[in-house]
């Protein structure tokens, strides 16, 4: 069997299972009071120390797979490579701290391009309080960048596995704008003035929801993850991890007016299936949700509810009262486009 037959998430599941089941060594952190509290499978790993919960995550971009020079200038490659990692820390309710940067470089890579990329990393790092403290540079036939990032959290990390039937489902902002920006650039679609700029920025300069994650954790929300692969797909993953299903309402999914203006007939599809928004998806009982929503700095929306249905199922109720299964329909880089039956009608 080849990796493309099993898919990214099938392979991850199989290797995580090996790594956890066959783990048998000494726990070197134990004598110092370290205790692993979130194992492989959530947005980040986490362990308690005597003073805090520490978070640990990694994310990679490969040229030609995750970006091209046409859609993403080097400075934005730098920004995005950090943003996706910071977003994972945000999804736990934590603050990002230290980063290691690994570059895989063809020998003819321009030094000036790498400096420009570092400028983008420094811009987001200085905004979010991340310090690059090391890394590795290797020769590679294809450009790639891997960031490993630590974080800290002084309470209980937000998890994917704690959603319960009766919870409401929320998102911390407009979904689909990053996917709209990408489609605009790939298809060279014409867009109304302002919309093109807004959508391109949403794709190239996503703003991880660190402040929002802190608010959620402090307000007693237990369940969250970041939207990196698309709302429907990520909600399905959250539901699967929690052993529940979800129903969301098309009319409640927040779509930015600029996305609607540029893609009047495709904006819902982009909102459900477009990735890299780096918003937070979260669930909580209605009374917690009512308290937390007004506190979220950039607005948020309740889009549906958690049900005791088949684990991982996500249903979409449209404005005509019809209900469609929509997840998982996200992007799997090994498999290409989602199966036709899984796309939004």
Q: Minimum distance from CB of 338 to a second copy (Å)?
A: 15
Q: Minimum distance from CB of 75 to a second copy (Å)?
A: 13
Q: Minimum distance from CB of 87 to a second copy (Å)?
A: 13
Q: Minimum distance from CB of 250 to a second copy (Å)?
A: 31
User: In this complex, which beta carbon is closest to a second copy, that of residue 129 or of residue 192?
Assistant: 129
Residue among 242, 219, 236, 93 at smallest CA distance from 167: 242
User: In this complex, which beta carbon is closest to a second copy, that of residue 13 or of residue 298?
Assistant: 13
Residue among 224, 246, 236 at smallest CA distance from 338: 236
Beta bridge partners of 147: 59, 101
Tokens describing residue 131: 């310090």
Tokens describing residue 330: 């996200």
Query: In sequence order, what are the residues at sequence separation of 6 or more whose Cβ sits closer than 8 angstroms to the Cβ of residue 72?
Result: 80, 203, 204
User: In this complex, which beta carbon is closest to a second copy, that of residue 43 or of residue 269?
Assistant: 43
Q: Minimum distance from CB of 265 to a second copy (Å)?
A: 30
User: In this complex, which beta carbon is closest to a second copy, that of residue 240 or of residue 260?
Assistant: 240
Q: Minimum distance from CB of 114 to a second copy (Å)?
A: 7
**CB-based contact 239:163 (threshold 8 Å):** yes
**Residue 175 burial by CB count (10 A; 0-12/13-18/19+): exposed, middle or buried?**
buried
User: In this complex, which beta carbon is closest to a second copy, that of residue 336 or of residue 341?
Assistant: 336
User: In this complex, which beta carbon is closest to a second copy, that of residue 36 or of residue 261?
Assistant: 36
Sign (positive or negative) of CA dihedral 182, 185, 188, 194: positive
């Amino acid at each position: 069997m080849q990796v493309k037959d099993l898919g990214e998430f099938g392979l991850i599941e199989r290797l995580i299972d090996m790594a956890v089941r066959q783990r048998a060594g000494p726990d070197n952190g134990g004598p110092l009071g370290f205790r692993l509290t979130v194992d492989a499978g959530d947005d980040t790993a986490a362990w308690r120390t005597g003073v805090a919960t520490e978070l640990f995550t990694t994310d990679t971009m490969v040229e030609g797979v995750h970006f091209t020079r046409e859609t993403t200038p080097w400075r934005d490659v730098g920004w995005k490579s950090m943003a996706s990692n910071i977003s994972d820390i945000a999804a736990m309710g934590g603050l990002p701290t230290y980063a290691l940067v690994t570059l895989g470089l063809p020998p003819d890579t321009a030094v000036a391009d790498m400096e420009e990329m570092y400028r983008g990393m420094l811009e987001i790092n200085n905004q979010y309080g991340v310090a690059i403290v090391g890394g590795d540079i290797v020769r590679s036939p294809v450009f790639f960048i891997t960031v490993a990032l630590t974080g800290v959290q002084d309470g209980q990390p937000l998890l994917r596995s704690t959603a319960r039937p009766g919870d409401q489902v929320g998102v911390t902002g407009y979904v689909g704008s990053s996917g709209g920006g990408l489609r605009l650039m790939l298809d060279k679609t014409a867009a109304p003035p302002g919309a093109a700029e807004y959508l391109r920025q949403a794709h190239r300069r996503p703003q991880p929801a660190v402040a929002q994650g802190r608010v959620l954790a402090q307000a007693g929300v237990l369940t969250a993850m970041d939207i990196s692969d698309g709302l429907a797909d990520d909600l399905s993953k959250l539901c699967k991890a929690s052993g529940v299903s979800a129903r969301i309402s098309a009319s409640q999914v927040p779509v930015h007016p600029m996305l609607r203006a540029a893609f009047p007939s495709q904006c819902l599809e982009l909102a459900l299936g477009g990735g890299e928004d780096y918003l937070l998806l979260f669930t909580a009982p209605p009374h917690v949700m009512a308290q937390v929503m007004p506190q979220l700095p950039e607005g948020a929306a309740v889009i549906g509810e958690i049900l005791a249905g088949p684990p991982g199922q996500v249903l979409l109720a449209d404005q005509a009262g019809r209900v469609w299964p929509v997840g998982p329909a996200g992007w799997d880089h090994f498999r290409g486009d989602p199966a036709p039956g899984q796309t939004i009608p």
